[in-house]
Structure 1
Amino acid sequence: MCQDMMRAEVWLQDSLDDQVGIEALARRMGYSSSQIRRRFRHCFGLSPGAYRDRLRLEKAARLLIHTPMDVNRIAGACGYRNHSAFSRAFQRRFGRTPRQYRRCLRLNLARRRKAATPFAYQVRELPRRKTVLTRLYRPARPLEDLRDWQRHAQGAEVLPASLAAAPPIAIYHDQPLEGALPRLDLGVELDIAAAGLALPPNFRTQELPAQAYACVPLTHPGQLDEAMLFMSGRAVSGDGEPLSGEAPQLLQQAETLELRIPLL
């Protein structure tokens, strides 16, 4: 993956609710608009604008499924200023209106929850945290042990030695929505005061905000889908806290593996 286009893709993800055009991305990356479109399409198979539109609609789908937000508010949160344009784009992408999609997917989750494996969890308010991450697209190998994350991440061997003892973290951007663009961030979690790190080009720092999470202990990463199904089903059935639709995090601390699902 082209490192500069990875940075471009992350920028598109982080600006879904913004109206800035691709020209702003081109200036940020030091390319012309035509160059950024050509290079981005070569890496991802879509133009930057089409890719961001798809990310917006997938974010909207997560919010429709997992939150009680009304459709107008969801449209605005996903960068749409016109409700009709949002509804048309959503129906083209998913084959249903936003309200039909919400009703169908929430009913399906509630039904599937009845057969899901139950998981214990706690709701905790977590403080701001800093992470050092790299992004993987369509990972070739399943993540069987988070402590072995460096084997999956190009350039991890030249990270600063001070990060060696930091707890590994994975952020799953294709959860909790089946069929989303498969993106996985891998790296480590740091104290918020950490600064001045010299990182390889394909790594970045990212701050995680203070937020409430449903914290689910797991025995191995393969339980992620089961745990997400159980927690999502609880939420849409009214038996648990509504999820925010944001990407869940998997954190390894010593022998403890914990799934952290952001809540509203």
Structure 2
Amino acid sequence: MDDAGITAHRFRGWWHTARADTISHEMMRAEVWLQDTLNSSAGLDELAHRIGYSPSQIRRRFRDVFGISPGAYRDRLRMAKAARLLVQTPMSVRDVSRECSYGNHSAFTRAFQRHHGLTPRRYRRQRQIDLQLQLRQAQCHFVYQTDEVPASYALLTRLYNTPLALDEPNDWQQHLATAPLELGGLEQHSRLAIVQDHQRIASPARLDLGIQTESSAAMDLALPPAFRLISLPRQRIARLHLETVRQLGDAMCFMSCRSFSGEGEVLKGEPLQLVPRSQGLELRIPLRESA
């Protein structure tokens, strides 16, 4: 079992994995690269060069692990992103198509309808109706605060699962303590989970788990293959206190309804962050910048 498989096995009690222990760190890197280059013209040749495989090897191995070609997987991620933007933001369909790297509006509409079974406008309308109904049935209300968080670094490993199943925050420390990270010099850091797609529009569901720090010393750490270092930009967020991770869906339903109704802050449709606290956990939702 390679480093990625070992890491997935260690965290299994925290994030119940499905096939994570069969994903090599090369294919994990390939999947993350496809996500990170959604808005670029980078092709499979560049990915193959980065990983050290030929394009045909990448196609074959990626399909063996994820059941789909790299190109089709990237298209699936674009459609998942488009769905989030349509539901959570007031962006026009044309702007959503551009944000998802479709230069042609008609081509985007056709691709979206093939993938989701509805045109973008009908999908937006139906999902917003569904969310409003869900909110009425849940009868939930969340208090949130807006804030601006500084730029930081995150050291993350990716875990895969279908369906999503998070343990409670008091289990995080136990499992993260076994992570193969050398934390020398990082005196101020916090545990962090980044949920890439809480609605599971894309498949497999993806979770990034690790630590967050503002210390530039993170750039000097020697990371095992299953981990990567990313820069998190300064951004506006909404902070919500959750007593349990089971409230995540209701919290996002509440905030999404307020966003598209114009009654609250406008969401950006980007991945969510979860940070454990002494009581419960904090949900951080990226917001659009104030006008």
- What is the TM-score with the length of structure 1 in the denominator? 0.91
Q: Secondary structure at the match of 2:282?
A: strand
> Which residue pairs with 1:33 in the alignment?
55
Q: 1:81: how far off? A: 1.5
- Is 1:84 the counterpart of 2:100 in the alignment? no
Cα separation, 1, equivalents of 2:163 and 2:89: 32
Cα separation, 1, equivalents of 2:278 and 2:187: 13
After TM superposition, the structure 1 stretch with the greater mean CA deviation from structure 2, 159-168 or 239-248, is 159-168
Deviation digits for residues 102-151 of structure 1, max 9, x if unmatched?
11112222232223311111011111111110001106883323353366
- Is 1:168 the counterpart of 2:209 in the alignment? no
Cα separation, 2, equivalents of 1:259 and 1:102: 24
Distance 1:167 1:254, change over 3 A: farther
Q: What are the equivalent positions in structure 2 for 1:192-203 lying under 5 Å apart?
A: 192-194=215-217, 195-203=219-227
> Which residue pairs with 2:282 in the alignment?
258
Question: Gaps spanning 5+ residues in structure 1: where?
Answer: none
Q: Secondary structure at the match of 2:46?
A: helix
Deviation digits for residues 170-226 of structure 1, max 9, x if unmatched?
111122x34332101111111142320111210111111111111001122222112
8 A contact 1:110–1:234 mirrored in 2: no
8 A contact 2:79–2:115 mirrored in 1: yes
Read off the aligned partner of 1:106 and give its amino acid letter. Q
Read off the aligned partner of 1:186 and give its amino acid letter. L
> Which residue pairs with 1:145 in the alignment?
168
Cα separation, 1, equivalents of 2:48 and 2:73: 15
Q: What are the equivalent positions in structure 2 for 1:146-225 lying under 5 Å apart?
A: 146=169, 148-149=171-172, 156-162=178-184, 166-175=189-198, 177-181=199-203, 182-194=205-217, 195-225=219-249
Cα separation, 2, equivalents of 1:140 and 1:115: 23
> Which residue pairs with 2:143 in the alignment?
120
Cα separation, 2, equivalents of 1:96 and 1:140: 24
Alignment root-mean-square deviation, CA: 2.1
Question: Gaps spanning 5+ residues in structure 2: where?
Answer: 1-22
8 A contact 1:134–1:186 mirrored in 2: yes
Cα separation, 2, equivalents of 1:146 and 1:12: 30
Work out the number of aligned pairs and report it.
Answer: 262
Deviation digits for residues 7-35 of structure 1, max 9, x if unmatched?
11111001111122211211121111101
